[in-house]
Structure 1
Amino acid sequence: MSEASNFIWYELMTPDPAGAARFYGPVVGWTIASEGEPTAGGVDYRMIGRSDGGNAGGVLALGADMIAGGARPMWIGYLHVADVDAAVAAIVADGGSVQMPAMDIPVGRIAMVADPQGAVFYVMDPKPPEGMEGMESDVFSVTEAQHMRWNELATSDSDAAIAFYRKHFGWGQEGEMSMGPLGAYRFIQRGDVGLGAVMPLMEGYPVPVWNFYAGVDDIDRAREAVAANGGTITSEPMEIPGGEYAMNAIDPQGAAIGFVGPRRK
C-alpha cells in the first residue's frame, strides 16, 4: 500500500431527509438540500452543505424497500482505495463480507463492506470533478467545526480490528486511554494525523459499528439544540484530551451521532 486510506465522505442513511435537515441545521450548522441529486436508479441523494461552501457528506433517503431489506438509520463512512474490486476481494479473503457489490456511480466506483467483526463501511475510488484532480477530500478535519472530526470504532475484538485496518488501509495505532473495567480506548492514526479510536463494544451497542463525531462551535449550544430539536442525548458532554468536549446523541430518525467542540461559557 503506497498511502494510508482516509475517510473521504460520510453518508447519513435516513427515512426522512427533511427531518434530518431540521435537526442537523440548528445543531451543527449544516444545510441539507431540499431535493435529491440526479442519481442512477432514481435514488434520493442529497448533499450536506457547510457554511464555507464545501460539503460535509450526503444524505441517502431510505425507501420502504431498503428498510424491508434491513437498512436502518445510521451514519456510514467511505474509505478511499485505489482499486475497489481488489480491495473488496482482499477484505473478503480476510474474513470481511460484502454488503453491496461494487458498482459504478457518476462520482466513482463504490462497494459497501463489513470488517470481520461486522462494522460496515464503504470503499470508494472517486472520480474527481474536472479541474480538481489530485485534491484530497476535506470532509474529515481534526480541528474544524462542520466537518467530521473523529472516527470511533466500537468492536468485539479490538486487536483483530486494529490488525485488519492496519493491513488493508495502512493505519497506525499508538497510544491508548484506560476505560477502567471496559478496557482500552486505543487511538488510530493515518500517518501523523489522529483519525480516531478503537474501543470495546459497550452496553447499548448490539453490533460492532463505526461512530462519527461532527465538529460544533460550542458543545453546550449543540447540546441544547439536540434536546430542542427532537434528538436524544445518550452521553452528556465530557472533557476530552486537549480541553474540548464530546457528547453522543441519537437524531430524531434514529441514527447515532457524536459531537465534539469547545465549551464557550
Structure 2
Amino acid sequence: MSVRREPWPEGTPSWVDCQVDDPIKESEFYAGLFGWEIRGAGEDAGGYLMAMKDGESVAGIGPKPQPGMLSVWTTYLAAGDADAVAERVVRAGGQVMMPPFDVMDAGRMFVAADSTGGMFGVWQARAHHGATVFNEHGTYCWNELHTRQFEAAEKFYADVFGYTYEHVGDGTSMRYAMFTPPDAERAVGGINDDTLMPGEPMPSYWLTWFQYDDVDEGLARAGGLGAAIMMPAIDSPVGRMAIVAAPQGEAFGLLDTNVRVGEM
C-alpha cells in the first residue's frame, strides 16, 4: 500500500473532497462503493467528514459553502506558502474565490479559479498533509483539468506552479498534457483539450479519478447505490475507465490501471 507521511511537493494534487447537500447521506454511498470508513472531523469542522481506508485518510466529504451550488469533487494542489501561491494566481489571470484561511491546526487553504474558469483548491499542510494513501483500490489515482482553452490553461499552471508538460495524443482526436511540478519525479496530473471531445461544450472543470480494481463491477455497484453512468466503461492505454455521477450529482471517474489496451 502506498502511504505518505510528509507534505506533498508544491503543485501536486494532495487532497480531494466533495461538497454536497447531505454529507452524511452521500458518505453512505461512498462507503458502499469504496469500502471507506467515515469519521467525523470534530465539533469545529462544520460537518466535514473524513474518509479512511485501513486507518489512513483518503478524501473528505463536506457540506456546500453556499446553498444552490453544484455538487462537485474538488482537487487541492499542494503549496509551501498558500498566500504566495494566491498572489501568483492573481498575477497569472486567475481569481481567488475564497481567500487563504487557517483550518484549525490542519493547514491553510484557499479556493481559486484558473484563467479558464476551472475551480481548484490549494492546501498548505500543517498537521494534515493530505491523502496518506493513494493509487490503491478506493483511493484517488489521477486528477486532470478539462478545458476548451488548452494553451491558456498550460500557461496559467506553468506560471503559478512551474509545471512542465509532456504532450500525448494525435492532436486530432486527442490532445493531452501531463504535468510535472518542479520538485516531482514524474507526471502527477493532466490537462485535456475538450474542444476535441464530442457532446455539448462544458465549462472548465477538474475531474478526480479513483482506482477501482474491476471497473465493470464498480459500475454495477455504483448503479445499485443510486449513481448515474455518465460514460460507460472503455479500454484505454492508461486503463479501463468510466465516469459516474453520485446520487447528489458530483461526477468522478473509475479507473483500473491494471487493465491497459493499446499505445499512447
Q: With the length of structure 2 as denominator, give the TM-score of the two structures.
A: 0.84
Partner Cα separation in structure 1 for residue 188 and residue 225 of structure 2: 29
| Root-mean-square deviation over aligned CA pairs | 2.1
Question: Which 5+ residue runs of structure 2 have no aligned equivalent?
Answer: 1-8, 260-264
Relative to 1, partners in 2 of residues 1:255 and 1:193: Cα closer, same or farther, differing over 3 Å? same
Structure 2 counterpart of 1:47: 50
Structure 2 counterpart of 1:24: 30
**Contact 1:139–1:147 under 8 Å retained in 2:** no
Structure 2 counterpart of 1:229: 225
Question: Which 5+ residue runs of structure 1 have no aligned equivalent?
Answer: 130-135
**Contact 2:113–2:119 under 8 Å retained in 1:** yes
Report the CA distance between 1:26 and its aligned residue: 2.6
Structure 1 counterpart of 2:80: 82
Return 112-121 or 254-263, whichever deviates more: 254-263
**Contact 1:156–1:208 under 8 Å retained in 2:** yes
Residue 184 (structure 1) aligned with residue 175 (structure 2): yes
Partner Cα separation in structure 2 for residue 140 and residue 8 of structure 1: 10
- What is the CA deviation profile of residues 141-167 of structure 1, one whole-angstrom value per residue up to 9, with x for unaligned ones? 3x4222211111111211121122122
Superposition pairs for residues 114-263 of structure 1, below 5 Å? 114-128=113-127, 137-139=130-132, 141=134, 143-178=135-170, 180-181=172-173, 183-190=174-181, 191-201=184-194, 202=197, 203-204=199-200, 206-242=202-238, 244-261=239-256, 262=258
Relative to 1, partners in 2 of residues 1:204 and 1:27: Cα closer, same or farther, differing over 3 Å? farther
SS at match of 2:115: coil
Partner Cα separation in structure 1 for residue 42 and residue 201 of structure 2: 33
Structure 2 counterpart of 1:57: 59
Partner Cα separation in structure 2 for residue 88 and residue 76 of structure 1: 17
Equivalent residue letter for 1:114 = A
Superposition pairs for residues 58-73 of structure 1, below 5 Å? 58-62=60-64, 66-68=66-68, 71-73=69-71
Large movers: runs of 4+ above 3 Å: 136-141, 178-181, 202-205
SS at match of 1:220: helix
Relative to 1, partners in 2 of residues 1:31 and 1:226: Cα closer, same or farther, differing over 3 Å? same
Return 201-210 or 229-238, whichever deviates more: 201-210
Partner Cα separation in structure 2 for residue 205 and residue 248 of structure 1: 17
Relative to 1, partners in 2 of residues 1:140 and 1:153: Cα closer, same or farther, differing over 3 Å? farther
Partner Cα separation in structure 2 for residue 196 and residue 246 of structure 1: 16
* Identity across the alignment (%): 25
SS at match of 2:145: strand
